[in-house]
A and B are shown apart, each in its own frame.
Chain A
Amino acid sequence: MAAKTQTLDDAPTLPMTEAAYLPGVAYDEMFTPDGEVRPHYDPLHGRMSTLGAEELAGRQRTLERSFLLQGITFTVYGAENTTERVMPTDLFPRIIPADEWKRIELGLAQRLQALNLFLADIYGDQQILMDGVVPRELVLGAPSYRREMQHVYVPHKAYANVCGSDLIRCQDGQFAVLEDNLRVPSGVSYMLANRDAAKRTFPGTYRAAGVRPVERYPDLLLSTLKSMAADWRNDPQVVVLTPGVYNSAYYEHAYLARLMGVPLVEGRDLVVHENMVYMRTTTGLRRIDVIYRRVDDDFIDPLTFRRDSSLGAAGLFNAYRAGNVVICNAPGTGVADDKAVYAYVPDIIRYYLGEDAILPNIETFLCREKRQMGHVLENLDKYVVKAVGASGGYGMLVGPHASQKERDDFAEAIKADPDNYIAQPTIQLSTAPCLVDGRIEPRHVDLRPFILSGEKTIVTPGALTRVALKRGSLVVNSSQGGGSKDTWVLAEENGHANGNGNGGHR
Chain B
Amino acid sequence: MMLARVADSLYWLGRYIERAEHLSRLSSVMLNATLDQTDGAQAVWIAMAAVGEPGDGTDVSSFDAAQALVLDRGDPNSVVSSLARARENARQVRDQITTETWERLNLLYLKVTDAKAGKEFSDGSAIFLHDVIADLHLFKGAADTTMSHGESWRFMMLGIYMERAQLVSRLLEVCFAESPTHGQVDDHVALVSVLRMACALEPYLRVYTAEIEPRHILEFLVFDEDFPRSIRFATAQIEQHLSAMARAGGGERAAPERLAGRLKARLQFADVDELEAVGAGPLLTTVVNECARIHEAIYETFVAYPLEMRLPA
Supposing A282-B151, A283-B249 touch, asked if A269 and B5 sit within 8 A by C-beta, the answer is yes
Give the interface segment out of A64-72, A365-373, A425-433. A64-72
Residues in A with CB closer than 8 Å to B99 are 70
Number of A-B residue pairs with CB-CB distance less than 8 Å in the complex they form = 73
Query: Is B95 within 8 A of A281, CB to CB?
Result: no
Could you mark each residue 95-106 of chain B with 1 if its beta carbon is under 8 Å from any beta carbon of chain A, else 0? Answer: 100010011001
Residues in B with CB closer than 8 Å to A70 are 99, 102-103, 106
Complexed CA–CA distance, A152 and B4 (Å): 32
Complexed CA–CA distance, A263 and B92 (Å): 12
Cβ of B116 to closest chain A Cβ, rounded Å: 15
> Which chain A residues numbered 267 to 319 have a C-beta less than 8 Å away from chain B?
268-269, 271, 273, 276, 279-286
Residues in B with CB closer than 8 Å to A263 are 2-3, 6, 95
Query: Is A282 within 8 A of B2, CB to CB?
Result: yes
Q: Is B35 an interface residue (CB 8 A)?
A: no
Query: Is A285 within 8 A of B312, CB to CB?
Result: yes
> Which chain B residues numbered 1 to 38 have a C-beta less than 8 Å away from chain A?
1-7
Chain A, Cβ-Cβ closest to B90: A71
Residues in A with CB closer than 8 Å to B95 are 254-255, 257-258, 263-264
Complexed CA–CA distance, A71 and B250 (Å): 38
Complexed CA–CA distance, A244 and B91 (Å): 10
Supposing A70-B103, A250-B91 touch, asked if A273 and B312 sit within 8 A by C-beta, the answer is yes
Residues in A with CB closer than 8 Å to B312 are 273, 276, 285
Q: Is A22 an interface residue (CB 8 A)?
A: no
Cβ of B10 to closest chain A Cβ, rounded Å: 10
Give the interface segment out of B55-63, B161-169, B274-282, B303-311. B303-311
Query: Is B302 within 8 A of A245, CB to CB?
Result: no
Query: Is B310 within 8 A of A285, CB to CB?
Result: yes
Complexed CA–CA distance, A251 and B88 (Å): 12
Query: Is B1 within 8 A of A283, CB to CB?
Result: yes
Supposing A68-B110, A245-B91 touch, asked if A271 and B307 sit within 8 A by C-beta, the answer is yes
Chain A binding surface SS class: mixed
Name the residue in A68, A244, A263, A273 with the highest tally of chain B Cβ atoms < 10 Å from its Cβ.
A263
Query: Is A71 within 8 A of B106, CB to CB?
Result: yes
Residues in B with CB closer than 8 Å to A273 are 311-312
Residues in A with CB closer than 8 Å to B310 are 284-285
Cβ of A253 to closest chain B Cβ, rounded Å: 8
Q: Is A265 an interface residue (CB 8 A)?
A: yes
Query: Is B249 within 8 A of A71, CB to CB?
Result: no
> Which chain A residues numbered 98 to 142 have a C-beta less than 8 Å away from chain B?
none
Residues in B with CB closer than 8 Å to A279 are 3
Q: Is B107 an interface residue (CB 8 A)?
A: yes
Chain B, Cβ-Cβ closest to A262: B95
Cβ of A196 to closest chain B Cβ, rounded Å: 11
Query: Is A71 within 8 A of B311, CB to CB?
Result: no
Supposing A273-B311, A273-B312 touch, asked if A282 and B302 sit within 8 A by C-beta, the answer is yes
Q: Is B94 an interface residue (CB 8 A)?
A: yes
Q: Is A266 an interface residue (CB 8 A)?
A: yes
Query: Is B3 within 8 A of A69, CB to CB?
Result: no
Query: Is A69 within 8 A of B7, CB to CB?
Result: no
Residues in B with CB closer than 8 Å to A285 are 307, 310-312
Chain B, Cβ-Cβ closest to A285: B310
Query: Is B1 within 8 A of A286, CB to CB?
Result: yes
Complexed CA–CA distance, A147 and B310 (Å): 35
Query: Is B302 within 8 A of A258, CB to CB?
Result: no
Complexed CA–CA distance, A255 and B95 (Å): 7
Contact of B1 among A69, A257, A264, A282 (CB under 8 A): A282
Query: Is A281 within 8 A of B94, CB to CB?
Result: no
Residues in B with CB closer than 8 Å to A244 are 92
Contact of B5 among A250, A257, A268, A283 (CB under 8 A): A268
Could you mark each residue 57-99 of chain B with 1 if its beta carbon is under 8 Å from any beta carbon of chain A, else 0? Answer: 0000000000000000000000000000000100110110001
> Which chain B residues numbered 98 to 125 have a C-beta less than 8 Å away from chain A?
99, 102-103, 106-107, 110
Complexed CA–CA distance, A436 and B312 (Å): 59
Chain B, Cβ-Cβ closest to A66: B103
Complexed CA–CA distance, A281 and B312 (Å): 14
Chain A, Cβ-Cβ closest to B252: A284
Cβ of B9 to closest chain A Cβ, rounded Å: 10
Residues in B with CB closer than 8 Å to A286 are 1
Query: Is A280 within 8 A of B311, CB to CB?
Result: no
Residues in B with CB closer than 8 Å to A71 are 91, 94, 102, 106
Residues in A with CB closer than 8 Å to B7 are 282
Chain B, Cβ-Cβ closest to A270: B3
28 A-B residue pairings within 8 Å (CB atoms) = A69-B103, A69-B107, A70-B106, A71-B91, A71-B102, A71-B106, A245-B88, A245-B91, A255-B95, A258-B94, A258-B95, A263-B6, A263-B95, A264-B95, A273-B312, A276-B312, A279-B3, A280-B307, A281-B4, A282-B1, A282-B4, A282-B249, A282-B302, A283-B248, A283-B253, A284-B310, A285-B307, A285-B311
Known: A70-B102, A273-B312. 5 other contacts (CB 8 A): A69-B103, A71-B106, A263-B95, A280-B5, A280-B307
Top 6 closest pairs, chain A to chain B, by CB: A254-B94, A258-B95, A257-B95, A284-B310, A280-B4, A282-B302
